A and B are shown apart, each in its own frame.
Chain A
Amino acid sequence: MTDFFNALLHHSFLQHALLAGLLVSISSGIVGTYVVTRRITYLAGGIAHCVLGGMGFARYMQTVHDWAFFTPMFGALLAALLAAFIIGVVNLKAEERIDTVISAFWGMGMAAGILFISKTPGYGEDLMAYLFGNILLVTQRDLLLIAGLDLFIAATAFLFHKQFVAVCFDEEFARLRGVNTQLFYFLMLALTALTVVLMVSIVGIVMVIVMLTLPAAIAGRFCRRMGPMMALAAGLCALFTFSGLAISYQPDLPAGATIILLAGIIYLITLTARR
C-alpha cells in the first residue's frame, strides 16, 4: 500500500486517475440515488450498453474517415443521450413492456459497437478498455470534461431537488401540483446518461451499473432523506474508487474490476447487517 502512496506522489497518471474517480463519485452519488429510488436500474444498464455503439462509431469514423474531432467520449455522450431519449419516449408513449424495449436497445447498442470496432484497424485494445474501463488512461482533457459535467449535474440536481424528489416518490401527485413531470423524467434520464458516460472511463460499460447503484443502495440503508443519501453514496463511491485503486496498484490488478468487487462485497455485508 505504501508503494501506492509513493507512486501517487510521483506519477501524474495516477493522480489523474484518482481525481477522475473522486469527481465522478459526486455525480454517481446524486444520480445513483435517483436511479435506485425511482427503480430505473435496468434502464440505466441499457443506456450504459448503448454507449458501446457510440464509442465504436466514433472510433471507426476517427480511424477510417479521419474525423479527428469525433472522439470516443463524444460518441459515448451522443449515444447515451440518444438512447435515454428514445427509451424514455417509448416508455411514455408505447404500450410495450419497458424491460423488453430496454433489452432490445441494450443488445443493439452492443452489437453496433462490436461491428464498428471490428471494422476499425487495431480494435482489440479499444474494445477491452471500453468494456472494462481503464482509469489509468484518463487524460487532463478528460478531467476537464468530467469536472464540467459534474458541475452541470450537481447544479441541476440542486436547483430542481424538490421536483426530482416529488417525481421519484409520487409522479401523479407532482403532476397535479403543476410539475411538468415528463420534462423532469427526461431530465433525470439525461443526467443518468451523462453520469453513465463519466463512469465508463473509470469502470467500463459492463460494470457501470454496479458503481451507479451499489453506493446509493448501501446509503439507502442508513439514510432517511434523499439529500444525505446522495452525500453518503458519493462518499462511498469515492471510498471504493480510492481503495480499489490502492489495492490494485501493487499486484497490478485491473483497477475497475477491483473497485467493483470491493463495492459488491461491502454491499453484501451491509445487507446482512441490521439497520
Chain B
Amino acid sequence: MSNPIKIENLSFSYGTLPVLENASLTIEEKEFVSVVGPNGGGKTTLLKIALGLLEAQSGSVSVFGLPPQIGCKQIGYLPQYANLDSKFPVTALDVVLMGRLGKTRRFGLYSKSDRETAREKLNRVGLSDLHNRPISALSGGQKQRVLIARALVSDPKLLLLDEPTSSLDDYVEQELFDLLQELNDELTIVVVSHDVAYVSKYVQKVICVNRQVHIHPVSAVDENIIHKMYGEHVHAVRHDQEHGHD
C-alpha cells in the first residue's frame, strides 16, 4: 500500500520568491497529522501541490502512489468555508451532493443512490435533521460539518482540512476534533492550521511549514510543562527527525 502523501525534495517558488525549499515529508496511512506554520509560510502552497492544483518546480510528489492530479480523487478536501458564499441558494444536501461529482453520471440530475449516500454522510456528521436547511441558515460549526460530509461522500482515503477551526469557538472546535478522531478509525486525516500554539491532543504528528518542512512526533514527555504554559489540550513538540535543513 502506497503512502497517502509522499513528498521528496520539493521546491516551489512564485516567480523568484521561494515558498518551499527542499521539503520532504511522508504521511502514513491512518495517521492524524497537523500541518502548522505562520501565514505566508507555504502551508497553502503545499496543500495545493498535494491536490494537484499547483505543480512544483523540482522534487517529487505522490498521492497514494499516483501523480497528484490523479491521486487527488482519493482525497476528501475541505476548503476554508470563509471563501464560500454563505448566501448561495443551496441546501445542506445540495452541497454534500457536489462531492459525488466524478462518481455520479455525467448528464442530468443526481441519482437516487447519490442522494442516499449524501444523506448517510450528513447523518454521520450529526446533521440528520438539517438535510434541507439552506446553508445560509446554518451555524459556522454546522457549515463545517456539511463540508466534511461533502468531503466524505466520495469515499476518500484521506481527509484534508484547510483551517477548519479558524472561525469556530473553542467548544465547537473540540466537537469538530472529536468527530475527526472518530473518522480517523477509517481515514488518514491532515489538518492545516496557522495556529502554531494549537496542537491538539488528537494529533499524532505535527508538520511545521515555514519555507522548510520539519516533522515532529507529538510527545507527551514535557506535557506538564506545556500545560502550565498553554493550558489543556496542548502537547509538547520535540524537534527531531528533521527533513530539509535549517
Contact = CB atoms under 8 A, between A and B. Distances in A.
A224 B90 CA distance: 6
B101 A163 contact: yes
B90 A165 contact: yes
Contact of A162 (B52, B85, B109): B109
Contacts of B77: 173, 176
A177 B154 contact: yes
Nearest to B99: A177
B102 A177 contact: yes
A226 B87 CA distance: 12
B134 interface: yes
B95 interface: yes
Interface of A: 37, 158-163, 165-166, 168-170, 172-179, 220, 223-226, 229
A225 B53 contact: no
Contacts of A159: 107-108
Contacts of B110: 162
A224 B98 contact: no
A37 B89 contact: yes
Interface residues of B, number: 30
Given A223-B89, A224-B89, A179 B84 contact: no
A179 B102 contact: yes
Contacts of B79: 170, 172-173
Contact of A174 (B75, B91, B98, B109): B98
Contacts of A162: 97-98, 101, 104, 108-110
A37 B89 CA distance: 8
Contact of A173 (B52, B85, B98, B104): B98
A61 to B, nearest CB: 39
20 contacts: A37-B89, A160-B107, A161-B109, A165-B90, A169-B88, A169-B95, A175-B53, A176-B51, A176-B53, A177-B73, A177-B99, A177-B101, A177-B102, A177-B154, A178-B101, A179-B101, A224-B91, A224-B136, A225-B90, A225-B134
B206 to A, nearest CB: 25
B234 interface: no
A50 B136 CA distance: 36
B94 interface: yes
B213 interface: no
Interface of B: 51-53, 72-73, 75, 77, 79, 84-85, 88-91, 94-95, 97-99, 101-102, 104, 107-110, 134, 136, 150, 154
B52 to A, nearest CB: 8
Contact of B53 (A158, A172, A178): A172
Closest 9 CB pairs of A and B: A224-B134, A178-B102, A177-B101, A177-B102, A166-B98, A159-B107, A229-B89, A169-B88, A179-B101
B98 A176 contact: no
Contact of B89 (A160, A173, A225): A225
Contacts of B84: 169-170
A163 B79 CA distance: 18
Given A166-B101, A168-B88, A177-B98, 13 more contacts: A158-B108, A159-B108, A161-B108, A161-B109, A162-B97, A162-B104, A162-B109, A162-B110, A173-B150, A175-B53, A178-B73, A225-B134, A226-B90
Contacts of B108: 158-159, 161-162
A108 B217 CA distance: 61
Contacts of A226: 89-90, 94
A229 B107 CA distance: 21
A168 B109 CA distance: 16
B156 to A, nearest CB: 10
A231 B146 CA distance: 26
A226 B224 CA distance: 53
- With a 10 A CB-CB cut-off, give which of A158, A166, A177, A223 has the most chain B CB atoms: A177
A162 B154 CA distance: 15
B94 A225 contact: yes
A172 B101 CA distance: 13
Contact of A220 (B89, B97, B102): B89
Contacts of B90: 165, 169, 224-226
B95 to A, nearest CB: 7
Given A158-B108, A176-B77, A165 B72 contact: no
- With a 10 A CB-CB cut-off, give which of A169, A170, A175, A225 has the most chain B CB atoms: A170
